[in-house]
Structure 1
Amino acid sequence: MSYPVTVTLRRIGGYDDPGLDGAVAALFEAADCPVGRGDRVLVKPNLVGPRNTALSCSEPHVVRAVCLFALSRGAVVTVADSPAFGTGGIMARLAGLTQALADLPVAVESLDAARPLRLAHGGSIGVSSKALDTDHILNVARLKCHDQMGMTLATKNFFGCVCGFRKSLAHQRLGRDRARFARMILDVLAALPPSTSLLDGIVAMHKAGPVGGEPFKLGLLGAAANPLALDTAVYGLLRLAPDAVPLWAEALRQDLGGARPEDVACAGEPLESFDATGFLTPASLAPLHFEPKRFVTGRLRSVLLTLRGGR
């Protein structure tokens, strides 16, 4: 990939905007998305948990627009994630995705079937074979604060390709070293097939996250072939420094393309046309490592949600 990477931005007034589908398609076109006829495409939304789904999860209208783009290219489309609680199917229903996609020829599934991935710092983590074996990933991220990692944008959304409870185990095993945890996410990204990322900041989440924050109307949609570049553009918009976002700091330490501001060329709407005044990020980062009680409680909640089918 040559640098600088083009990050294209569009202004959208709301999720009911009649131009949403066209804007999403235009963004993928601008990102030179290579999806074609017969390609197996994974549409990877952000499905976190059953709380505050209207803000914490990918917005159904946006996911639908992404699916329409892939279908217009003749792709075979699967929508899947591995949420922190329950299954991809349950969370898709709770977040409104199942209903939004009901009339489309797409499969809605969980990212399961773990395959061990060796990590740079040693050990391994189980990444979904469905993600590893697809031809292309259309990454549909939500612009949100994150209490433990500062922000969750396009790059962080790929952590959802780690299967089920293995994400919680990663917090336990790696959570005492934030840089090592960030390196694990970058290892997962590097192992995955080619991707194109779409970032939804039409209504973002600020103050806290990735679940318990508050809405912030930013009116932004962005896309790029490199998720790091897309994130870097947003860090600039929010006037963040690398020490506030461990994933960005680690990407810079590794000298990864797209992590430096000079690696990014913004197109479409100028970055400065989006007003982020008043967007608040966590004043300090919460521990990544879960206390044993929280870890066990979280696992029980996930099992119960799965057994009850999301009711």
Structure 2
Amino acid sequence: MTDGVQDASPGTRGLQGDAARAVVALARCSGYDRLAVEAAVSAVLDASGWRPACGARVLVKPNLLRFQPSGLCCTHPEVVRAACVWLQAHGVHVTVGDSPAFGTAQGVAARIGLADALAPLGLAVIQLDGPRQVEVADGGGGTTTIGVSRHALDADAILSVPRLKAHCQMRVTCAVKNLFGCVCGVRKALAHTTHGADTRVFGGLVADIFAALPPVAALCDAVTCMHVTGPAGGEPFGLGLMGASVSPAALDAVCCSVIGLDPSVVPLWGEMRRRGFPGTDPADMDYPLEGPSAFDGRGFVVPGVLKDVSFAPGVLLRSLCRRVLSSLRG
């Protein structure tokens, strides 16, 4: 136990009651009207069984990406706001942060309206900086390290708040892949470049990072998803789903099954199953609210051929220079 937040090893986190089953709470939400989003978020978080202790330090981790002006590739601000409202009502100390590979979390938050949405709650988005080295597999049978933010590692718990979206390297991403954003800044782009050619190796890297973090719960924005391509530049797909679970792996598995996928075509889902993480089989879950059949994922298009997501050295260097200049100005 850590400050009253239920702790769990990667082999047991996300389970409620029967050790073979996970709880995944799903609710309908037709749009991003504030009251509708608050109602749906409260319903799924309440039903998920997640109970962060009063006074616990919880990092809310949205998906913030610079590349798409519409903001479709980012978690919707109203979903992030509603999660923070729910947490504050439970007496939790909330921090909201991310570490985009390019640009800054504050800059993305300002552009998509998240900064304005959080300001009345007394919250501001922070950059997940302060890297600490975490051991991960190097893909060749050995190990290496990667810099994960101290804000994530020092939290009592993390709430991963992704948007369900297509991804040209991982086919589709959700709550577990969103935790890759706990890696500090340009290190994410470097990891894509050095590990991205092999989807299983990259999936293993993400799984290792997940295993190193404090207990993680998940809240998925699948009201309007992004399909066709990703991590940016995709098209909207209305699914009308809000989901939550103490197990990010379970929530990912359910979201993937709703849009007609199985582990054989989703590298990260397959990697989580291979490692024996619980909650990766939608047949072994409890649904206290809606079941997966209540949502129509037909027509959700994912990339057919997966490709390496890497970045040219010049792009990495320019991003690093911008970060240094930004820190000097601050």
> TM-score, normalising length from structure 1?
0.93
Match of 1:80 among 97, 105, 124: 97
Matched, 1:251 2:272: yes
- Structure 2 residue aligned with 1:44: 61
Rounded Cα–Cα distance in structure 2 between residues aligned with 1:87 and 1:17: 26
Aligned length: 306
Q: How far does residue 303 in structure 1 lie from its aligned partner after superposition?
A: 4.3
Rounded Cα–Cα distance in structure 1 between residues aligned with 2:321 and 2:120: 30
SS in structure 2 at match of 1:47: coil
SS in structure 2 at match of 1:74: coil
Rounded Cα–Cα distance in structure 1 between residues aligned with 2:150 and 2:239: 35
Percent identical: 43
1:295–1:259 CA distance, 2 compared to 1 (3 A): farther
- Structure 1 residue aligned with 2:12: none
- Structure 2 residue aligned with 1:147: 168
Q: What CA deviation, in whole Å up to 9, does each residue of 1:50-71 have, x standing for no partner? A: 4234201111111100010111
Rounded Cα–Cα distance in structure 2 between residues aligned with 1:216 and 1:264: 25
Match of 2:230 among 187, 191, 209: 209
Instruction: Structure 2: state its 5+ residue gaps.
Output: 1-14
Q: How far does residue 221 in structure 1 lie from its aligned partner after superposition?
A: 0.4
SS in structure 2 at match of 1:268: coil
Q: After TM superposition, what 4+ stretches of structure 1 lie above 3 angstroms from structure 2?
A: 301-309
- Structure 2 residue aligned with 1:165: 186
> TM-score, normalising length from structure 2?
0.88
Rounded Cα–Cα distance in structure 1 between residues aligned with 2:88 and 2:281: 34
Rounded Cα–Cα distance in structure 2 between residues aligned with 1:120 and 1:297: 26
Structure 1 vs Structure 2 CA RMSD: 1.8
Rounded Cα–Cα distance in structure 2 between residues aligned with 1:12 and 1:237: 15
Q: How far does residue 305 in structure 1 lie from its aligned partner after superposition?
A: 7.9
Q: How far does residue 173 in structure 1 lie from its aligned partner after superposition?
A: 2.0
- Structure 2 residue aligned with 1:127: 148
Matched, 1:273 2:294: yes
Paired amino acid for 2:249? L
Q: How far does residue 299 in structure 1 lie from its aligned partner after superposition?
A: 4.3
Paired amino acid for 1:300? R
Instruction: Structure 1: state its 5+ residue gaps.
Output: none
Aligned partners of 1:86 and 1:303 also within 8 Å: no
